[in-house]
């Protein structure tokens, strides 16, 4: 099956590791040009060097998505460099935690506003070029109780509601908006890799709660995100795809 991604132009925030990194690699493998950012210029340089191929190029610049001005300027710059944008994936997250109210502000600024501001910045360009695809990253923690009453879970739920609403709003411009809700995803240097050491009982419980007895891998999320973002998924719009190996237990009708 040809996903139809050759020579498409994609923007993904935060792709130096984990799910974002695997999405970027998969897009590159499919022949997209991919623009990305990280707070550290060194990380951006590294990913450009490591992931660019002869057929597909990675571009990017350092950017803190929490800084509205910097973030919007970065998107404009990337769109300009690629001469347009077909795919947008706001992937950066402030992560979990219920240390203080500060967690709510951080989740709101990064997970929520990072998504909203990004969408609002790319949509005019997508309209101009006749359409596009936006894939938002939510979490299984948005649809079922998970861990603790933390900002992360609530903001990821808000992302789903926003995305569904947005899909109705921009559908007329041939822009599709979909959401994915990954379950716990493990990779070397990732949070679950750390929790395996620091909270072994909790980790083991989460492992057991998966029908297959293991956590997910970033590439297993990336493949679905790339598919949803591709022209091959042209009739999927406003969906929220669970990518959790059956971790969540609710029945979806």
Partner 1 sequence: MSERSYKTVVRVKEPVSKGTPVEHVPLPELGHKLIPKERYTSEEFLELEWQTIWTKVWLLGGLERDVAEPGDYLCTEIGRESVIIVRGQDNKLRAFYNVCPHRGNRLVEPGMDQVDSFVCSYHGWEYGTNGRFVSIPDRELFPQGPPCAGLTEIPCDTWNNFVFFSLNPDVMSLAEYMAPIAGHFEPYHFDRMTVVRDLTVEWGCNWKTSVDAFNETYHVAATHPQLLWYLNDMDVQIDCYERHSRYLVPFGMVSPKIERVPEIPPPLKVMLSDAGLDPASYEGPIDGIRKAVQQHLREKAAEEGFDYSDLNDDQLTDDYNYLVFPNLTFNTHADHLMLFRHRPHATDPNQMYFDVWMLHYIVDEDELPEERPRHRHFTAADRKSLGMVIDQDGGNLPKVQQGMNSAAFQGLWLGDLEVRLRHFHKTIEDYIQEYGPEDALNE
Q: Site for partner 1 (CB under 8 A): which residue of 81, 129, 174, 191?
A: 191
In the complex, what is the shortest distance from the CB of residue 188 to partner 1, in angstroms, rounded to a whole number? 7
Number of amino acids touching partner 1 (CB under 8 A): 21
* Separation of alpha carbons 215 and 222, rounded Å: 15
Selected binder of partner 1 within 154, 195, 236, 239 (CB under 8 A)? 195
Helix, strand, or coil (residue 18): helix
> Is 17 one of the binding residues for partner 1 (CB under 8 A)?
yes
- How far is Cα 55 from Cα 58, in angstroms, rounded to an integer? 10
109 touches partner 1 by CB under 8 A: no
Nearer to partner 1, 124 or 200 (CB): 200
Measured from the CB of residue 94, what is the shortest distance to partner 1 in angstroms?
Answer: 9
What is the signed CA dihedral for 193, 13, 23, 26, rounded to 10 degrees? -140
Under a CB-based contact definition with an 8 Å cutoff, are residues 132 and 88 in contact?
A: yes
Check binding of 197 to partner 1 (CB under 8 A): yes
The answer to whether 249 touches 144, Cβ cutoff 8 Å, is: yes
Q: Does 171 bind partner 1 (CB under 8 A)?
A: no
Strand partners, 168: none
Contact map string, positions 68 to 97, toward partner 1, x by CB under 8 A: ---------------------------x-x
DSSP 142: G
The sign one gets for the Cα dihedral 61, 3, 130, 110 is negative
> What is the contact surface with partner 1 in residues (CB under 8 A)?
17-18, 95, 97, 99-100, 102-103, 106, 188-191, 193-200
């Amino acid at each position: 099956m040809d996903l139809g991604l050759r020579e498409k132009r994609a923007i993904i925030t935060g792709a130096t590791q984990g799910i974002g990194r695997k999405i970027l690699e998969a897009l590159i493998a499919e022949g997209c040009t991919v623009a990305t950012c990280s707070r550290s210029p060194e990380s951006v340089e590294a990913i450009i060097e490591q992931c660019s191929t002869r057929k597909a190029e990675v571009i990017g610049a350092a950017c803190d998505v929490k800084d509205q001005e910097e973030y919007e300027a970065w998107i404009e710059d990337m769109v300009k460099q690629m001469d347009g944008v077909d795919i947008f994936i706001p992937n950066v997250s402030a992560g979990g935690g219920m240390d203080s109210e500060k967690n709510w502000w951080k989740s709101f600024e990064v997970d929520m506003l990072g998504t909203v501001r990004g969408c609002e910045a790319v949509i005019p360009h997508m309209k101009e070029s006749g359409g596009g695809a936006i894939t938002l990253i939510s979490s299984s923690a948005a649809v079922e109780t998970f861990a603790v009453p933390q900002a992360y879970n609530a903001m990821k739920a808000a992302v789903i509601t926003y995305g569904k609403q947005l899909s109705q709003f921009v559908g007329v411009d041939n822009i599709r908006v979909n959401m994915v809700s990954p379950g716990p995803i493990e990779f070397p240097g990732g949070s679950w890799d750390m929790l395996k050491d620091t909270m072994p009982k909790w980790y083991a419980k989460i492992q057991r709660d998966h029908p297959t007895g293991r956590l997910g891998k970033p590439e297993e999320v990336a493949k679905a995100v790339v598919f949803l973002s591709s022209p091959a998924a042209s009739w999927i719009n406003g969906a929220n795809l669970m990518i959790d190996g059956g971790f969540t237990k609710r029945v979806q009708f």
